[in-house]
């Protein structure tokens, strides 16, 4: 066997090992992607349940709010709304209040996003987007973020009522 034949065999072997390594890396990436999707689904279910529980409690403390569960292409969570009529010297004015909290769908950025929008008596009172990388997301911390937003809204609403 000549020197060229030996080098040719080594080159072919290197190419085969390279192809096998690329296939393994692609498989690991796909498995990692699936793990992140599962993690997002797990957190989404837990956090959307927590959002619903918090907003239901808020409705119990402020009669007149209507609760609704949100499940659509923008996310999963809940919303509370309230319409009031303010009569001052014969003038009628509608006052709208709401709080909506959603867990956004899975994205290629591999983040978990919780959005919060609040309006009190026709004025936007809060607009928050909280992000966590899925591999760093902690359920307890995210629940504390949700609690803080609900408490902030409750304080602002009770101060304005």
The pLDDT tens digits of the residues spanning 53-85 come to 999 999 999 999 999 999 999 999 999 999 887
Q: What are phi and psi of 86, to 5 degrees?
A: -110, 115
Do the beta carbons of residue 116 and residue 139 sit within 8 Å? no
Percentage of the chain exceeding pLDDT 70: 91
Name which of 22-26, 58-62, 89-93 the model is least confident about.
Answer: 22-26
As a whole number of angstroms, the distance between CA 66 and CA 80 comes to 5
Q: What pTM, to 2 d.p., does this model score?
A: 0.78
Residue burial 77-103, b: 16+ Cβ < 10 Å; e: rest: bbbbebeeeeeeeeeeeeeebbbbbbb
Residue 11 DSSP symbol: H
Highest mean pLDDT among 8-17, 133-142, 148-157: 148-157
Closest-CA residue to 102 (of 127, 126, 79): 79
Burial status of residue 150 (CB atoms within 10 A of its CB: 0-12, 13-18, 19 or more): buried
The Cβ of residue 66 has, within 10 Å, a number of other Cβ atoms equal to 11
pLDDT tier, 30 (very low <50, low <70, confident <90, very high otherwise):
very low
Do the Cβ atoms of 36 and 134 come closer than 8 Å?
yes
Residue with tokens 């760093």: 136
pLDDT of residue 140: 94
- Backbone torsions φ then ψ of 114, nearest 5 degrees: -115, 120
pLDDT at 139: 92
Residue 96 pLDDT more than 80? yes
Residue pair 123/102 in contact (Cβ under 8 Å)? The answer is no
What is the overall mean pLDDT for the chain? 87
């Amino acid at each position: 066997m000549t020197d060229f034949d030996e080098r040719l065999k080594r080159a072919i072997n290197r190419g085969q090992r390279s192809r096998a390594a690329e296939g393994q890396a692609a498989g690991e990436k796909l498995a990692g992607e699936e793990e992140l999707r599962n993690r997002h689904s797990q957190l989404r279910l837990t956090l959307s349940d927590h959002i619903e529980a918090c907003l239901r409690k808020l409705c119990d403390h402020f009669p007149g709010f209507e609760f609704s569960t949100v499940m659509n292409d923008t996310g999963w969570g809940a919303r509370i709304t309230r319409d009031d009529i303010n009569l001052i010297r014969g003038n009628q004015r509608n006052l709208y209040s709401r709080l909506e909290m959603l867990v956004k769908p899975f994205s290629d950025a591999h983040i978990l996003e919780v959005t919060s929008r609040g309006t009190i008596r026709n004025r936007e009172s809060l607009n928050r987007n909280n992000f966590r990388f899925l591999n760093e997301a902690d359920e307890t911390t995210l629940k504390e973020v949700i609690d803080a937003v609900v408490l902030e809204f409750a304080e602002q609403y009770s101060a304005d009522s």
